[in-house]
Amino acid sequence: MTEQRRLDPAAPWTEVVVTEADWDEADPDLLTSMFAHLVLIRTFEEYVLELAGQGLVHGPAHSSIGQEGGAVGSIHALTSADTVNGSHRGHHQFLAKVLRHVEPEGIDPRQPFSERVRDVLLRSLAEICGLDRGFSHGRGGSMHLKWTEAGAIGTNAIVGGGVPLAAGSAWAHRHAGTDDVAVTYFGDGAVNIGSTLETFNLAAAWRLPLCFFVENNHYAVSTNVEEATGEPRLSARGPGFGIASWRVDGMDPLAVHLAMEQALAHLRAGRGPALVEADVYRYFHQNGGYPGSAFRYRTKEEEAAWRARDPIAQVRGHLERRGILDAEEADATVARAKALLADIGGCLVEPDPDGKPGVRRIKPDEWPDPAFADVGIRSSLDELEGAELAEVDSYRGGVGEAKFVEAVSAVMCRRMETDDRIVVMGEDVHRLGGGTNGATKGLVEAFPGRVLGTPISENAFTGLGGGIALDGRFRPVVELMYADFMWVAADQIFNQIGKARHMYGGTTPVPLVLRSKVAMGTGYGSQHSMDPAGVFATSPGWRIVAPSTPFDYVGLMNAALRCEDPVVVLEHVDLYTTVGPAPLGDLDYCLPVGRAAVRRSGEDVTVLTYLAMTHYALEAAERVEGCDAEVIDLRWLDRASIDWDTIGESIRKTNRVIVAEQGPPGTSYGGWLADEIQRRFFDWLDAPVQRVTGREASPSISKVLEGAAIAGADEVLAALEAIGEA
């Protein structure tokens, strides 16, 4: 017979329930302001649904009607410096945060709404309608509402996608020495997704001032929470991760406020993250103005029961009961809010001159200029103005030889010395003498607190890096131990980090450096051997650098760290142990952005290549007979930074092109390049653009199969020999 010992989670799990006594004690100004917020948000949402019903909101309008209490109650406990982000259903969170920012003392419902209130509502409505005067010029719309100045750091259309980013914001608050917090709002749908759960763990491990605010509205579209999880009391998740957790009735804004105050005390005291589950209800379906019961996944009776506990009615009832606001005043508040929305709407829509009576259209001048579609995908690179630029032949500090991997750690060490903003994170970067390859050697000793070994959770820590970059106070350098792990972190890398700048209007810097190891040839097999350049090249927000020498690594890393765009720095394991030209003097120079290097001059064919393949291409060019190849090391691989001048000059001379890379043709880099070349240089081509790639399959563990799968000098040689017949 075993002995049974009861175990309990270390973190507390508390339900906060308010009584009439709490309502009686509540500050009247808090209650009136919450009422004003609730009325404004409800009226705003009703107006959005009205426009949506007339086809004036392009895309979904995820209404928050019914569940405003969670956001209003919690955000009334925050300061402007605290940050919030949210989900696809984020109008109420965003509005509460920006209203709080412009009226930090609260909004008096008895007074006319201020111009500041009118202005933020107008800009919010314009954004939701996709119009130029919106916060992101209409690019983000309903699901990507961001106004950084107000601490509203962006709602998110990927379920759970914003959670790691909020962790980055929280990290920045703490690392900057403040007691500010980040709050990430998400629903019962997002609570089960990997990026959320990974972030629970990461935030708890690092004791980040991050509040996970779960708006449990019981339905992920039509799937109810009881069928989606074995523990529908979602705040039960928190203690499992060591997170202090609260559960509260979200239809009761005061209860939420009081629970949030407890959570904030915990957060601001540096005791780690908190989780608040607010039980709420959206009156309508996922989007649009019809109730969920119309779609038959719930009953009218259930909806009526929730509506009976409407947050606005509750606050209004207590205000009237306590004699703070009478019914007439409350009605007047609602009337003023409706008038305000009608006035705001009049700025954006007008009667359609070609339509039937009552049909409205967007005022033509309100639309963004179609020419704006691609503006601001990436930085103008003004931040590199004044950088010390050098190439091997112009560098004045003297060029000697060094091991590649030593240049990797040396330049990072130098930058961390000169720039306190830089922080390095990744799996095992803080141990093993500088990570698995020594690339971060010596950093943890020199810069305690700035070299962060992460749990194995690529989505969470990459997203956390993205959140730090978006915050702007620090410069994260995130290492992916193997390039293949980008798929694990794909949402954060491509949907979030890569798109953020453009999606939020084209001006938000995202200064993140992602160091990605390319481990082809190390025998790690199908899932650890990819070259990610081709995939990154499909994502316009990313810049890609591919250094093939220690000297170039230093200059490219410096440029990457200075650049305000996300930059992936590819590091090929074949190169780590090689010896090449390296700076003897300072490590402060940048390579010019978008400058390729002609490694070998030739007349007969242009070989475009990068990273370790550069060396194999050069070897092949020496071995081949009867073909004088020009080998160009591209160095900057992304669409915006690639060096068309050097490529074009070469093609006009040789009239033939081989794009050489090691990896398979499927996710290859050369595809887009060949496509671009044939259009740019059609009249100078004497043969189709040729490609050297690895085999179709990902490299295997078996050494001979791996060797067969990866292209190298022999494959380039064969292509050079065949080019005459192409």
Partner 1 sequence: MASLFVLPEIAADTTEAVLTAWSVAPREPFVAGAPLAVVETAKAAVELTSETDGAVLALLVDPGADVTVGQPLALLGRPGEEVEDLDATLAALGARAAPSGAPATAPEPPAPADQPAASAAPAGRVFASPLARRLAHDAGLDIARIPGTGPRNRVRKRDVEAAKAARTAPATTAATGEPAEPWSAPAVRRDDEVPHSRMRRAIAERLVTSVRTAPHFYVRGTATVEDLLSVRRQLDEGGIAKVSVNDLVVKAVALAHVAVPEMNVVWTDDAVRRFSSVDVAVAVATDGGLLTPVVRDAAALPIAELARRTADLGDRARNGRLTPAELSGGTISVSNLGMYGVEEFSAIINPPHAAILAVGAAAAEPTVVDDRVVVAQRLHVTLSVDHRPVDGVVAARWMRAFLDLLEHPIRLVL
Q: How far apart are CA 579 and CA 114, in angstroms?
A: 66
Minimum CB–partner distance for residue 683 and partner 1 (Å) = 4
The C-alpha R_g of the chain, in whole angstroms, comes to 29
Residues 603, 598: Cα–Cα separation, whole Å: 12
Identify the residue among 686, 701, 702, 703 touching partner 1 (CB under 8 A).
686
Helix axes 311-321, 327-348, angle to 10 degrees: 140
Are 136 and 505 a contacting pair, CB within 8 Å?
yes
C-alpha 195/C-alpha 181 separation (Å) is: 20
How many residues of this chain interact with partner 1, rule: CB under 8 A? 10
CB neighbours of 382 closer than 8 A, spacing ≥ 6? Answer: none
d(CA 184, CA 663): 39
Strand partners, 545: 569, 636
Closest separation between CB of residue 675 and partner 1, Å? 15
Helices 91-102 and 115-128: angle between axes, nearest 10 degrees: 150
Structure tokens at 158: 């990927």
Span of 114-122, 293-301, 348-356, 683-691 interacting with partner 1 by CB under 8 A = 683-691
State the minimum distance, in angstroms, from the CB of residue 668 to partner 1.
23
Distances (CA, A) of 78 to 82, 204, 303, 603: 6, 21, 31, 67
Q: Provide, rounded to whole angstroms, the least separation between the CB of residue 632 and partner 1.
A: 19
Minimum CB distance to partner 1 smaller for 115 or for 725: 725
The rounded distance, in Å, linking the Cα atoms of 439 and 690 is 35
Nearer to partner 1, 270 or 688 (CB): 688
Q: Phi, psi at residue 270, to the nearest 5°?
A: 80, 25
Distance CA(674)–CA(299), nearest Å, equals 58
d(CA 18, CA 383) in angstroms, rounded, equals: 52
Q: Half-sphere exposure (CA, 13 Å, Cβ side) for 290?
A: 10
**Identity of the residue, 27 or 603, whose beta carbon is nearer to partner 1 in the bound complex:** 603
The residue type found at 205 is: A
**Residue 449 to residue 207: CA distance in whole angstroms:** 13
Q: How far is the CB of 505 from partner 1 (least distance, A)?
A: 41
The answer to whether residue 725 forms part of the interface with partner 1 (CB under 8 A) is yes
Binding mask 603-642 for partner 1 (x = CB under 8 A): -----------------------x----------------
- Interface stretch with partner 1, choices 37-45, 325-333, 603-611, 685-693 (CB under 8 A): 685-693
Regarding 679 and contact with partner 1 (CB under 8 A), the answer is no
Q: Which of residues 578 and 655 has its CB atom nearest to partner 1 in the complex?
A: 655
Q: Six-digit token pair at 18?
A: 């308010």
Stretch that binds partner 1, among 392-400, 448-456, 681-689, 707-715 (CB under 8 A): 681-689
**In whole angstroms, how close is the CB of 684 to partner 1 at the nearest point?**
6
Smallest gap from Cβ 602 to partner 1, in A, equals 16
Is 655 a binding residue for partner 1 by CB under 8 A? The answer is yes
Among residues 176 and 722, whose Cβ is nearest to partner 1? 722
Looking at the Cβ atoms of 30 and 685, the one nearer to partner 1 is: 685
Residue 605 Cβ, how far from partner 1 at the closest point, in Å? 12
Residues between 129 and 188 with contacts to partner 1, criterion CB under 8 A:
none
Residue 480's alpha-carbon distances to 424, 429, 441, 522, 568, in angstroms, are: 11, 10, 16, 16, 10
Stretch that binds partner 1, among 176-184, 281-289, 554-562, 679-687 (CB under 8 A): 679-687
Q: Say if strands 399-403 and 360-362 run parallel, antiparallel, or are unpaired.
A: unpaired
Residue 528 bears catalytic tag: yes
Q: Which residues contact 2 (CB under 8 A, 6 or more apart)?
A: none
* Nearer CB in complex with partner 1: 3/683: 683
Among 447, 524, 644, 684, binds partner 1 (CB under 8 A): 684
Catalytic residue selected from 137, 257, 528, 615: 528
Shortest reach from residue 719's CB to partner 1, in Å: 15
**Contact track, partner 1, 16-55, x by CB under 8 A:** ----------------------------------------
CB of 607 to partner 1, least distance (A): 18
Q: List Cβ neighbours of 322 (8 Å cut-off, separation of 6 or more).
A: 23, 24, 28, 31
Task: Pick the piece of the chain touching partner 1 (CB under 8 A) from 245-253, 262-270, 593-601, 676-684.
Answer: 676-684
Query: Quick one: which segment of 31-39, 43-51, 58-66, 678-686 binds partner 1 (CB under 8 A)?
Result: 678-686
Comparison of 105 and 725: residue with beta carbon closer to partner 1: 725
User: Which tokens in the block code for residue 403?
Assistant: 């091991």
Q: Which is nearer to partner 1, 343 or 686 (CB)?
A: 686
Site membership for partner 1, residue 718 (CB under 8 A) = no
Which range in 378-386, 493-501, 519-527, 677-685 contacts partner 1 by CB under 8 A?
677-685
Whichever of 54 and 655 has its CB closer to partner 1, that residue is: 655
Residues 46, 50, 51, 54, Cα dihedral to 10°:
160
Choosing from 392, 687, 708, 718, the residue that interacts with partner 1 (CB under 8 A) is 687
Q: At 567, which helix (H) or strand (E)? A: strand 567-572
φ, ψ for residue 436, nearest 5 deg: -65, -20
Distinct helix (H) and strand (E) counts, the chain: 26, 24
Q: Is residue 682 involved in binding partner 1 (CB under 8 A)?
A: yes
Task: Give which of 611, 607, 610, 633 is closest to 620, Cα–Cα.
Answer: 607
Read off the tokens for 193.
């997704």
Instruction: Provide the annotated active-site residues.
Output: 528
Applying CB under 8 A, which residues contact partner 1?
626, 655, 682-687, 725-726
